[in-house]
């Protein structure tokens, strides 16, 4: 489908230039937008240019850029000064998941942008309806939740809070086609949106199996990698059911549902990770053990894998294979 908008005409602001924020900046640049990138922390302002350049080089290597890297850099301003945001039609907040810090950021954004700018959060932890109470124009506030790396994934969740006006969500949804996204648009704000709810349902069951010593971490990882991984990118959950002939599922639901974990407790293993300040490959303390070299190998492996899986996924475009109507709402 042809995009309705010309990205070069729409300036977008990004506030917060950590890993995710930088990656979103690159996604927007690659789509053709002028981008004002605000680093609230001096350390971020210092590190962002090199990180963004490296990510633009990844994009170029993966064939995602049409022009030389310099052209994209020329459309980017990195600054600690919120006044840079004044011409932005849309501002994306991606600072840490603390409500008071986000509130402060929204105030600073609101002070400079025009009255018709849309403000959004990349949060996956705080409900949009809650964050919305912190802004001057809640009807123009919504959630835009990206997957890492933002420039090389088709995932995007657009979520309305209770006060969000539908037209702004629709505008972002249309605009996101220019970003190469196949967005989901949630009209109602639900805790964890879709993807986190689904994955936390898996985590709950997986951690329960591990806690009961019925499976090891390795077993769980193998199971998801080799079974689910062999079809999920093409089909998703419900399409796979249709593919598998659908008729057996109901009987298995009946026997398996009553045996699944319904725990509401933080699993002991995860609490233990918090207690030992585990940051996984980032400080080589995690569910698995790592040397510094192994941690780097994982980063390198994911960069390569991600490029390949994106290219593979792109061979199966939404609009051709997935165009058939679902019966979900009518049945």
> Cα dist. 213→134, 173, 207 in Å?
45, 44, 10
Based on the shown chain and the rule CB under 8 A, indicate whether residue 46 belongs to the binding site for a second copy. Answer: no
Of the two residues 103 and 202, which places its CB atom closer to a second copy in the complex?
Answer: 202
Assess contact for 117 and 88: CB atoms under 8 A: yes
Based on the shown chain and the rule CB under 8 A, indicate whether residue 79 belongs to the binding site for a second copy. Answer: no
**Is the CA virtual torsion 33, 120, 282, 312 positive or negative?**
negative
Among 65, 177, 308, 314, binds a second copy (CB under 8 A): 308
Q: What angle do CA 200, 206, 210 make, to 5 degrees?
A: 140
- Please give the Cα distance from 235 to 98 (Å, whole number): 35
Assess contact for 143 and 159: CB atoms under 8 A: yes
Give, rounded to a whole angstrom, the gap between the first and last alpha carbons of the chain. 29
Pairing of strands 156-160, 141-146: antiparallel
Based on the shown chain and the rule CB under 8 A, indicate whether residue 326 belongs to the binding site for a second copy. Answer: yes
Among 43, 243, 292, 296, binds a second copy (CB under 8 A): 243
14, 29, 314: which is closest to 179 by C-alpha? 29
Pairing of strands 141-146, 35-38: unpaired
SS3 137: coil
Query: Where does this chain touch a second copy (CB under 8 A) — which range of 27-35, 102-110, 136-144, 209-217?
Result: 209-217
- CB 92 to a second copy: min, Å: 18
- Please give the Cα distance from 280 to 135 (Å, whole number): 35
- CB 14 to a second copy: min, Å: 20
Of the two residues 115 and 291, which places its CB atom closer to a second copy in the complex?
Answer: 291
Query: Where does this chain touch a second copy (CB under 8 A) — which range of 45-53, 75-83, 168-176, 199-207?
Result: 199-207
- CB 159 to a second copy: min, Å: 11
Joined together, the tokens standing for residue 203 give 């985590």
Based on the shown chain and the rule CB under 8 A, indicate whether residue 218 belongs to the binding site for a second copy. Answer: yes
Q: What angle do CA 68, 94, 312 make, to 5 degrees?
A: 50
Among 57, 63, 68, 305, binds a second copy (CB under 8 A): 305
Among 54, 249, 296, 314, binds a second copy (CB under 8 A): 249
Lay out the site mask for a second copy across 252-291 (x = CB under 8 A, - = otherwise): xxxxxxxxxxxxxxxx-xxxxxx--xxxxxx---xxxxx-
Counting every residue, how long is the chain? 331
Of the two residues 1 and 252, which places its CB atom closer to a second copy in the complex?
Answer: 252
- CB 165 to a second copy: min, Å: 19
Based on the shown chain and the rule CB under 8 A, indicate whether residue 114 belongs to the binding site for a second copy. Answer: no
Query: Where does this chain touch a second copy (CB under 8 A) — which range of 60-68, 73-81, 85-93, 321-329?
Result: 321-329
Query: Where does this chain touch a second copy (CB under 8 A) — which range of 40-48, 78-86, 169-177, 244-252?
Result: 244-252
Based on the shown chain and the rule CB under 8 A, indicate whether residue 100 belongs to the binding site for a second copy. Answer: no
């Amino acid at each position: 489908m042809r995009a309705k908008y010309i990205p070069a005409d729409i300036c977008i602001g990004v506030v917060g230039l950590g890993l995710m924020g930088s990656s979103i900046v690159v996604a927007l640049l690659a789509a053709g937008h002028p981008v004002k990138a605000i680093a609230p922390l001096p350390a971020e302002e210092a590190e962002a240019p090199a990180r963004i350049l490296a990510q633009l080089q990844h994009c170029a290597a993966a064939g995602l850029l049409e022009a030389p890297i310099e052209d994209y850099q020329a459309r980017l301003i990195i600054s600690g000064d919120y006044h840079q945001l004044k011409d932005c039609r849309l501002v994306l907040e991606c600072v840490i998941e603390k409500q008071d810090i986000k509130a402060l950021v929204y105030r600073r954004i609101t002070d400079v942008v025009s009255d018709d700018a849309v403000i959004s959060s990349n949060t996956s932890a705080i409900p949009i309806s809650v964050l919305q109470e912190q802004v001057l124009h809640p009807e123009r506030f919504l959630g835009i939740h990206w997957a890492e790396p933002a420039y090389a994934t088709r995932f995007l969740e657009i979520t309305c809070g209770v006060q969000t006006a539908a037209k702004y969500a629709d505008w972002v949804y249309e605009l996101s086609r220019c970003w190469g996204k196949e967005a989901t648009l949630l009209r109602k704000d639900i805790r964890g949106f879709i993807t986190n709810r689904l994955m936390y349902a898996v985590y709950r069951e997986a951690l329960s199996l591990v806690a009961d010593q019925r499976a090891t971490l390795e077993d769980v990882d193998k199971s998801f990698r080799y079974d689910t991984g062999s079809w999920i990118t093409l089909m998703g959950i419900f399409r796979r059911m249709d593919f598998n002939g659908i008729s057996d599922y109901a009987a298995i639901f009946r026997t398996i549902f009553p045996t699944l974990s319904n725990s509401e407790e933080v699993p002991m293993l995860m609490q233990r990770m918090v207690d030992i300040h585990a940051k996984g490959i980032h400080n080589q303390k995690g569910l698995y053990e790592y040397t510094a070299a192994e941690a780097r190998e994982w980063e390198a492996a994911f960069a390569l894998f991600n490029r390949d899986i994106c290219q593979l996924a792109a061979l199966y475009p939404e609009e051709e294979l997935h165009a058939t109507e679902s019966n979900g709402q009518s049945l």
